[in-house]
Amino acid sequence: MHDFLLKYLYHWTPERAIWLGGETLTWDARCAGIYAGFAVALFFSLIISRNQSGLPPLPVLVTAVVLTLPMFIDLLTINLHFRVANNSIRHLTGLFLGISFCSFLYPAVRQLFPVTKTSVVITIPLFLLLYLIGATVSSLTLLDSLFSYYLLETLDWIGFSGLAILILTGLYRGIMAESQN
């Protein structure tokens, strides 16, 4: 079990790690970005669209899918040896994936709970603001300070925990709904 966790959950290696202020983030650069992006999007969702029922409008969802492409392009160009990997780019592309994933998962889990419709509708400019906030957070990887380390590490753990809670909540509500039928 320990080997499984090290390989698949904490697949951290020194060359893929982000070192800030003499400390290293718990996860490798890309996973740290995914969890930080998930945390940023979760905060955004809780503040902006906490009572929104249903998925965001189709143009927002298409934008979310398109903004996951940089990560796949990054992976492809590294694996085809077109360029050398860069941890800041890994972090940024992972962060975009985390934001996009939360943009789908949060509303999907939210639909399992009775809510009233809200007047706030996520628009593309508002959604792009979320990505701008995420890019600003990712730029902290360029600062070699303990402040950057603690902020990013906190966001990573919030994102990791938030993802786990959303998945478990969705599973629980799904099982409860199924058992009532």
The boundaries of the domain holding residue 99 are 29-172
Q: Is residue 103 in a domain?
A: yes
Residue 95 near residue 30, CB atoms below 8 Å: no
pLDDT for residue 9: 59
For the record, the structure tokens of 5 come out as: 């966790």
Q: Is residue 165 in a domain?
A: yes
Q: Is residue 135 in a domain?
A: yes
pTM here is 0.85
pLDDT for residue 174: 73
Q: Is residue 11 in a domain?
A: no
Q: Is residue 4 in a domain?
A: no
Q: Is residue 7 in a domain?
A: no
Local confidence pLDDT in tens for the 181 residues of the chain: 556 655 555 666 778 888 888 888 888 899 999 999 999 999 988 887 666 666 778 888 899 999 999 999 999 999 899 988 888 899 999 999 999 999 888 888 877 776 655 555 677 888 888 899 999 999 998 888 999 999 999 999 999 999 999 888 888 877 777 777 6
pLDDT for residue 27: 87
Phi, psi of 164 (to 5 degrees): -60, -45
How far, in Å, CA of 3 to CA of 1, rounded? 5
Q: Is residue 42 in a domain?
A: yes
Q: Is residue 94 in a domain?
A: yes
Query: How far, in Å, are 24, 25, 137, 177 from residue 153 at the CA level?
Result: 9, 6, 12, 36
The residues near 101 (Cβ < 8 Å, ≥ 6 apart) are: 34, 37, 38, 41
Count structural domains, the chain: 1
